[in-house]
A and B are shown apart, each in its own frame.
Chain A
Amino acid sequence: MAYGILVKNTSGHILVSSEIESLCCAGTAEYVVNLHTGLTDFPGYSGDVNTLSGRNVHRYRWFGAVTPLFFIRPANYDLFHGILNQWSSDGYQYVDIIQSGGAAAIPTIYVFVPPRVLTPSGNMGIRTQLANGQVAFDSRLGPLAIHWANSVIPQTVPCDGGQPTVQGGYAWNDTSLDHDFRCNNTYNSYPMTTPYARESLMFSTPSIAQAVYTRQKNGFKRSYGDYSSQDHWSTAVWWAMYHSAYRIGVGAFHAGWGVYAAGYYFTSAWENPGWYEPSGGSGGSVQAGSRPYNDKTINLVSNLAIVANADHYS
């Protein structure tokens, strides 16, 4: 660097440099719609209450051509959130946010972009430019002050009840759900020391890890008549798909999960005992949704969580 500003800490880390384009606050994103809500229990399965952790998917947009860095300021800090995806269309930058919980608690989404696309007001402060004259830092535009950043990863299996199984040996037509598919308490915790109040903080963390897990109960019964036996089979299946989601805890950052989709199906069938037995019949079934893929967790890699103080930009 021949000229400009270079600020380092005592560890030699570059904190501010006029050779690096800083991100600045472009305000908050416009709320568009709640795409999905509910999912506190299994669709098509009766009798269960709060067997899933709930899901909301909120869509936001910001008008501009550059790719922003979006930050989530939760309305409820006990819930998990994550950036599902972001894309551009018709001049807008869109982002979908997953939020756990059965009821919508709409977070505020802050937008950060390079200062070259923003217009400052006022005539005091610090401004630096790149060698080509492009603005790199402008204190009038609310430059992003990243308070904490770390690589984080959720646990492999999202379910609070651990990994569900496929098991036989149950009674015919056993449809009682016996696995905890909720995911409120399954997360990895990363210590985070901060001088700011928890309710002041916002974070940017993509939700890329996905998981599908299934509980299957196979039922069986054999009936005996005067001349033969008759076998009965049943299969009850509950499945849930999860996306990684995160929250700011007390003195810690939590990498966990939020449920994204779920389904249930049940089949029941029995043998035809033949003409010499009085009973007979055929099977029946019920189905609610199809499982996206066989049980596994994908995209389970450490990803970057960024935390900043939202009060600085409110």
Chain B
Amino acid sequence: MQFENRAPDEHVNYSIEHPLKEFAWLVGGVLGSLLILTLLVGFFAGELAARLPYRYEKALAGEMAGQLVGKTPDPRSAAIEQELNRLAARIAAHLPLPEGMQVTVHYQDTPELNAFATLGANIVIYQGLLARMPDENTLAMVLAHEMAHAQLRHPARSLGRGVAVGIMLSALNSGMGRSAAGGALSTTGGISLLKFSRDQEREADAAALAAIAALYQHVGGAQDLFRVLESAGAGSEDLRVSMLSTHPLSHERIDHVAALARERGWAADGARTPLPAILIH
């Protein structure tokens, strides 16, 4: 009897498909669905966070406030802070703040051209930005814009979105055994988390403008603020700060503000209020 071992069939035990085809399908499919999932989870977590009663945000912010203020301010900074809070209180009268929300302005004596709002209606303004304010109307627009973020619960939305997406990505990451793909995925997910979106900035501009119009009977300071930001952004490289990169382009905001003013019938300009002496540098 004659026996032989035949050569194995080369198309049964493994696939002869090009490996890059599988790679493209997997990467495209997984990253695409991850992107959709991140956007959905982020959106719903943000909406949910914004609907939580303000007192929860305040309790959370209480723990952070210490880090925010840092060292005890010198007497001059303390006086500036007091003056800023006085102005903020006048603006607050014209903003529909949620129940129990008390805006606190902090002053940082460093040259960054920036101001931001964070949890617990805490607002930080830097010396660099304050020094460029031509009058009280412009400064009021800065404060009103940041207060509008707080009023619209944008910091809570950002935090809710960040936490939910972070948990989702780390769960996915540990599920994949911290492999190379997991690392790549969490980097991709992180890119989609900006601080505030451009729509949120526009929303804050509109709310701030209404408060400014009610306070001064005209919206003169608003366009000046954007011109200040624009000229600073076009100038020195050091001043290209985070505020400029995430905010809508300044000329767009000028147009937006002008359109809003026309629509609502607010005077485009009027008598300017000078800055209190302590705030002039």
Do A and B associate with each other? no
Residues of B within 8 A of A (CB): none
Residues of A within 8 A of B (CB): none
